[in-house]
A and B are shown apart, each in its own frame.
Chain A
Amino acid sequence: MLTVSGLKRLHLSVSFDLRDGECVALQGPSGVGKTLLLRSIADLDPSEGTVKLDEALREAMPAPAWRKRVIYLAAEPGWWSDTVQEHFTNWDDALPLVERLGLPADCGPWPIQRLSTGERQRLGLVRALMLRSRVLLLDEPTSALDSASAAAVEALIAERIANGTSVIWSTHDNAQARRVGSRIFLMGPHGGIEEKRP
Chain B
Amino acid sequence: MTYIQLSYGDLALPALLVVMDGLFSLVLRLKLERQLAIATVRMVVQLVLVGYVLTFLFAAVSPLWTALAAFIMVLFASREIVARQKRRLTGVWKYGLGAACTLLAAGTVTMFALLTELRPDPWYHPRYALPLLGMILGNTMTGIGLGLDVLTNSVVRERAAVEACLALGGTRYQALLPVIRDALRSGFMPIMNSMAAIGLVSLPGMMTGQILAGVEPVDAVKYQLLIMFLIAGGTGLGTLAAVLGGARLLTDDRHRLRLDRFSGEKSV
Contacts and interface: CB of A to CB of B under 8 A. Distances in A.
A112 to B, nearest CB: 9
A43 B256 contact: yes
Contact of B161 (A44, A62, A71, A79): A79
B256 A46 contact: yes
A84 interface: no
Nearest to B268: A45
Contacts, number: 68
Given A45-B256, A63-B255, A64-B255, A78 B162 contact: yes
Given A43-B254, A46-B256, A64 B167 contact: no
Contacts of B252: 46
Interface range on chain B: under 10, 10 to 19, 20 to 34, or 35 or more? 20 to 34
20 contacts: A10-B267, A43-B254, A44-B166, A46-B254, A62-B255, A63-B254, A65-B169, A67-B166, A67-B167, A71-B167, A71-B169, A72-B167, A77-B164, A78-B161, A79-B164, A124-B164, A127-B168, A128-B167, A128-B168, A131-B168
Contacts of B178: 80-81
Interface of A: 10, 42-46, 62-65, 67-68, 71-74, 76-81, 124, 127-128, 131
Given A78-B163, A80-B158, 11 more contacts: A44-B167, A46-B252, A64-B166, A64-B171, A67-B167, A72-B167, A73-B167, A78-B162, A79-B160, A79-B164, A80-B178
Nearest to B267: A10
Contacts of A127: 168
Nearest to A77: B164
Contact of A64 (B159, B170, B267): B170
Contacts of B170: 64
Interface of B: 158-171, 175, 178, 252, 254-257, 267-268
B91 to A, nearest CB: 16
A79 B165 CA distance: 8
A68 B256 contact: no
Closest 5 CB pairs of A and B: A78-B160, A68-B169, A78-B164, A78-B161, A80-B161
A58 to B, nearest CB: 9
